[in-house]
Amino acid sequence: MQRPIQVLNVAEKNSIAKQVSAALSNNSARSQRSCSTYNPLFYFPYNINGQPCDMVFTSVAGHLMELDFTDDMKKWRSCSPVDLYGAPVLKKIPQDKKPVERNLQEQARQCQWLVLWLDCDREGENIAFEVVEVCRRANPRLVIKRAKFSALVRRELERSVQTLGLPDENASKAVDARQEIDLRIGASFTRFQTLLLQEKFKWQEGGLQEERPLISYGPCQIPTLGLIVQRQWEIRAHVSEPFWYIYVMYRTPEGQQCTFSWRRGHIYDHAIATVLYENCVDEPTARIAKVDARQVLRQPPLPLATLSLQKEAITHLRMPGERMMKLAEELYQEGFISYPRTETDCFDPAYDLKALVRDHTQDPRWGQHAQRIDSGEMWHPPRSGGHDDKAHPPIHPTRWTGASEGWPPEKKRLYEFVCRSFLASCSKPAVGFETQIEAAIATEAFTTRGLMVMEKNWLEVYPWFKWGGNDNLPPFQVNQTFMPTELLLKEGMTHPPPKLSERDLINAMERHGIGTDATVADHIQKQLDRGYAFKDASALFSPSPLGEALIAGYHKMGLSNLWQPNLRGVIEFNISEVAHGRRAKEAVLEEAVQHFRSDYISAAQKQGMMVEEVARFFDPWGAAEAQQQALPQGQAIGQCPACPMPLMLYKPEQGTPYVACSGAPLCRQIVCFPCATAQADVSAQPCTECPGNISKVAFKFRRAALPLGYDAEMTCCVLCDRRFEDLCRSYGTARPPGHGQARGRGGRGAGGQRAGQAEGRAAGRHPTAGRAAARRGSGRGSHGNGAAEMGRGAPRSRRRDRDSDDDADNPHRGGRARTGPRGGGRAGTQHRARGAWNGARARGRADAGRGRQPAPGGRFVSATGHAVGNGATSGVCFKCGQPGHWSNACPNQG
């Protein structure tokens, strides 16, 4: 008799652990609490490939680990935000996940095998590696295996456990890359925006909730805001135009009637419309040219996935997506509906749907319909929407309850919606009889259509959908003639597109790959929480002044790729190249970091534009105005050693000349004059001398030129330039280049660390080594060097071209901006401006979103020389979203 192997099985959430244990053990698993509240243990014996096993099944609760910067970079003023592109990052287990970690380690110590049952998607693969890391720390000898399953049904799970494989490292690395990109961009731009704007304006007077708002940036939240602002600009850019159309109405003596639509739709030229109309008036007899009558079917709704449930709940129940998800979560926890976060919109054929239907036959509201399905009279197998996340079924009721009296009304309505929707999806399609009529008057053609509902079927249980209409059509015959009751030339006006509804937003986000089914609602809610957008009484979204100013600011800077909706798609496409093994994680990261760092540098250099945009809507604080006015005129002499902004030489009328970074308040670097090699140390204390809330700046000098360092500390106010202390002290040991000198001496570390980084680059490791050189050269009036350094990046002329292009396109400024020619001139629709933007969007969009598109062909190597994955490389440009080149050589700027 073989001794059983001890096997630790880990699922992504308890519900899966429970289901798989039940399926594999034939419902005989013994459950036991663990030290982690939401992750109990299930024990049962099993046999894997003839080998007896003692199975212990447990779960985590999503990711175990979080990515973050090291402690020294977490303080917002500890470094310039641009440093966050190169700062080290760490994966850590946050405090609230410690019990999960303990549970895994306790079990791992007693087991020989670890079987990973995490969801079969990229995030699941990444969590699998987190679990492996934690378990291996407790038991290095663990044998690691991965169960891949396509449905939670017994046969599939049994197959899966007998054919265990290995976790997919590429998929996991793709997630690592995404996390790192999101963190670096998010943190750097959030700090940039917040530090730049937070203190400058009277937010509350401008309608914001908070006095000092957090102005966050994220690669999902900002493109979402971009969608809202873009629509606002479309609306504002719309210029109403008149159009004309011929209106025909016919009423029989019996009272049957219909109106006809003109084949030409609308005509924007009054003269032409009049000529065509007069033709009709001259020969007004209408002749029926065609009668097409046939039976049509209206299919029931697809089984519900998360996003479709959100959209339906918004439309039919008038419930915001975020609220709906909370209630759905509750219903799931209480066992009334299945797992609410799923992409699946098709039922597994093995699923016993009839049993689920039977559960509802006693309901007073929809029980009768359920009975008719159960009897087979109404039964029709649910359609398949073609999506399957391989982990969850579509959302459906799991238990009937008539005892929902205590529930809040919204929860009741949601449960009812899930039940009715499920029953509808198991019902026969509705049957109608449609008649399409074509009529001719003189040279012009007209159509009308009638629809009579013959069998309601699924519509009986689903009251939210209206079908049918115009069923009082006169009984036309081909070649029949009649005299129209009314024949008129009517005038209409084009309307701007409507504001976005939450449903529109979800659709747009889905189309562009912004967020996942589980996070889309959060990103929308975040717009409201951050004060970037409002939702009006009709639940339509419009940007707040702050939201619009942010987008307009980046637009004006020529950095629209930072907010346009394809941003996420571009990131997703590139990391999916990692997941498929076509590019190395490091290469994609390097490319992304380089690109976004360069965008950050542009943004920091043009920060004034952002301030200007915000100043259109919000009043600045007096002190900030005073600060701006009080700053003396300086002369650019190079680039700041700590950030991308120009370093300025200031010569106050009284007092000592000094050199300071122009990037305040993001960077308050002040360096020594005349040597200009010193590192500043900034402490944010209020100035005791001047009336404004200006910080006191303490800074250190270091005379690198001397063999023994010479150090000084001085405290002064940047606003009034008043010194508080001035003391010098020497120190004894010279340090080799590349070691942070300030850090070792009790001064705060940032300055010294930056010095260390800069030296490292100078040693040739990094392509931006020139910066350190410029810093050294910019002392003693070496102006030429500094100026050359400031103009780095795209050639100036090209940048100017791009900016002016963008300005021409920016419709939010002039009020009545043009709508073409991108939109193709006279679009002939009610929403003519939309065509223009859609055209622009389509071109700008990554052929990317979620890796559905084929990989772009061809071989190319990044300018950094890193981008060689497994020989053939591919990906899309972070700037324009197109394949074939990298963003630092993007030919499609703007």
Say which of 85, 250, 339, 554 is annotated catalytic: 339
What are the helix (H) ranges across 580-671?
585-605, 607-615, 622-630
Judged by beta carbon, residue 516 or residue 669, the one nearer DNA is 516
**Contact pick of 145, 146, 173, 191 for DNA (by CB under 7 A):** 191
Is position 269 an interface residue for DNA (rule: CB under 7 A)?
Answer: no
Question: Residue 344 in 3-state DSSP?
Answer: coil
**Contact pick of 10, 21, 29, 63 for DNA (by CB under 7 A):** 63
Is position 218 an interface residue for DNA (rule: CB under 7 A)?
Answer: yes
Judged by beta carbon, residue 513 or residue 756, the one nearer DNA is 513
Q: What number of residues does the chain have?
A: 894
Sites for DNA among residues 544-583 (CB under 7 A): 568
User: Which range, of 71-79, 147-155, 587-595, 725-733, touches DNA by CB under 7 A?
Assistant: 71-79
From residue 303, give the alpha-carbon distance in Å to each of 307, 335, 347: 11, 19, 7
Closest distance between DNA and the C-beta of residue 576, in Å? 13
Is position 329 an interface residue for DNA (rule: CB under 7 A)?
Answer: yes
**Contact pick of 13, 372, 597, 771 for DNA (by CB under 7 A):** 13
Residue 486-525 contact track with DNA, rule CB under 7 A, x = bound: -----------------------------xx-xx---x--
Q: How far apart are CA 274 and CA 408, in angstroms?
A: 59
Q: How far apart are CA 829 and CA 494, in angstroms?
A: 7
User: Which range, of 92-100, 444-452, 459-467, 834-842, touches DNA by CB under 7 A?
Assistant: 92-100
Question: Residue 868 in 3-state DSSP?
Answer: coil
Question: Residue 91 in 3-state DSSP?
Answer: strand
Is position 187 an interface residue for DNA (rule: CB under 7 A)?
Answer: yes
Judged by beta carbon, residue 197 or residue 439, the one nearer DNA is 197
Is position 585 an interface residue for DNA (rule: CB under 7 A)?
Answer: no
**472: number of Cβ within 10 Å:** 13
**Contact pick of 47, 204, 299, 333 for DNA (by CB under 7 A):** 333
Helix (H), strand (E) counts: the chain = 26, 26
Judged by beta carbon, residue 97 or residue 775, the one nearer DNA is 97
Closest distance between DNA and the C-beta of residue 178, in Å? 7
Closest distance between DNA and the C-beta of residue 41, in Å? 14
Q: How far apart are CA 324 and CA 330, in angstroms?
A: 10
339 included as an active-site residue: yes
**764: number of Cβ within 10 Å:** 8
Q: How far apart are CA 510 and CA 425, in angstroms?
A: 23
Burial 430-453 (b: 16+ CB within 10 A, else e): bebebbebbbbbeebebebebbbb
Is position 183 an interface residue for DNA (rule: CB under 7 A)?
Answer: yes
CB 563 within 8 A of CB 810: no
Is position 100 an interface residue for DNA (rule: CB under 7 A)?
Answer: yes
Judged by beta carbon, residue 16 or residue 357, the one nearer DNA is 16
Sites for DNA among residues 429-488 (CB under 7 A): none
Is position 128 an interface residue for DNA (rule: CB under 7 A)?
Answer: no
DSSP state letters, 96-161:
GGHHHHHHHHHHHHT-SEEEEE--SSHHHHHHHHHHHHHHHHH-TTPEEEE---SSSSHHHHHHHH
Judged by beta carbon, residue 119 or residue 809, the one nearer DNA is 119
Q: How far apart are CA 594 and CA 887, in angstroms?
A: 9
CB 651 within 8 A of CB 632: yes
- Number of residues counted as binding DNA (CB under 7 A): 51
Is position 214 an interface residue for DNA (rule: CB under 7 A)?
Answer: yes
Q: How far apart are CA 709 and CA 747, in angstroms?
A: 14
Phi, psi (5° rounding) for residue 483?
A: -100, 120
β-strand partners of 55: 7, 44
**Contact pick of 21, 40, 57, 119 for DNA (by CB under 7 A):** 119
Residue 17-56 contact track with DNA, rule CB under 7 A, x = bound: ---------------------x------------------
Closest distance between DNA and the C-beta of residue 878, in Å? 15
Q: How far apart are CA 891 and CA 887, in angstroms?
A: 9
Binding interface with DNA (CB under 7 A): 12-15, 38, 61-63, 66-69, 74, 76-77, 96-97, 100, 119, 121, 123, 178-179, 182-183, 186-187, 190-191, 194-195, 198, 212, 214, 216-222, 329, 333, 341, 515-516, 518-519, 523, 526, 568
Q: Which residues are catalytic?
A: 339
